[in-house]
Amino acid sequence: MTKIMIIAGTDSSGGAGLTRDTVTASMLGFEILPVVTAVTAQTNAAVVHTTLLSPEAVVQQIKAALITAPPLAIKIGMLGSKDIATAVAHALTDCPVPIVLDPVIKSSSGARLLSGPFPNSLLQNIDVITPNLPEAAILTRRKVAQSVCDITAQARAVLATGPRAVLIKGGHGQGADATDHYIDGSVHLRFNAPRLASGKRGTGCTLATAIACNLARGHRPAQACEQAKIFTNAWLRNDVNPNSAGAVAPYQNP
């Protein structure tokens, strides 16, 4: 089985983090090379405690994983600190595979999971970054976008820091559809799905890992994001078939 590398924190509730990444990758036909950045004690309602690993411990995991089995793509989730983020960026400088960054800044319960900004040395290595609307506002030091014009401006500002493409997720928005906006240097695409009455923890992990799996298959970033959106929406609707490499039921309008 082919492999992707996941750099992220653990979640004792099993709802997010490396556990969710592993399940998603497996459903899509991939094994993972896990690199732990932090150990968190979480319930479905709150982050109880967080212990960050040392930057050196994270780097040594990356080096050992790369020697063991070169991955076809890398997904980065929770980093926890600027020092860890900088160390990860340095460790991946010459890694010639696509990298997806889910900029985990806060947990779904509101706990802060990153101290300090993402270093430019990391952002400049990223192929796709996947902030939600509040994260995009934090990354650009602006208010949460309320319009397509604002979303576009924030996406351009994020791109100016180094990533080659940005997918701003619309799950925190309003309206009948949850619209994700994909923007790179030349295109702006919108990926729509009906807004669901309730969500699941680990949705951001699921989406970013699915994007990494699709990039590992050789899809272009826009296609990788679109297919990941379809997969994640099917997972949210419990329409994923775990016995067929992540296949999803055909989408039907409700």
Q: What structural domains does the chain harbor?
A: 3-236 (3.40.1190.20)
The answer to whether 38 and 106 have CB atoms below 8 angstroms apart is no
Nearest to 75 by CA among 99, 39, 107: 99
Q: How far is CA 55 from CA 76, 77, 221, in A?
A: 15, 15, 29
**Cα(104)–Cα(132) distance, integer angstroms:** 9
Give the type of residue at 181.
H
- 43 pLDDT exceeds 90? no
- For 140-164, the pLDDT digits (tens) are 989 888 888 999 999 999 999 999 9
Instruction: Band the pLDDT of 243: cuts 50, 70, 90.
Output: very low
pTM tops 0.85 = yes
Q: How far is CA 120 from CA 56, 60, 89, in A?
A: 20, 22, 9
- For 155-192, the pLDDT digits (tens) are 999 999 999 999 999 866 566 678 899 999 889 999 98
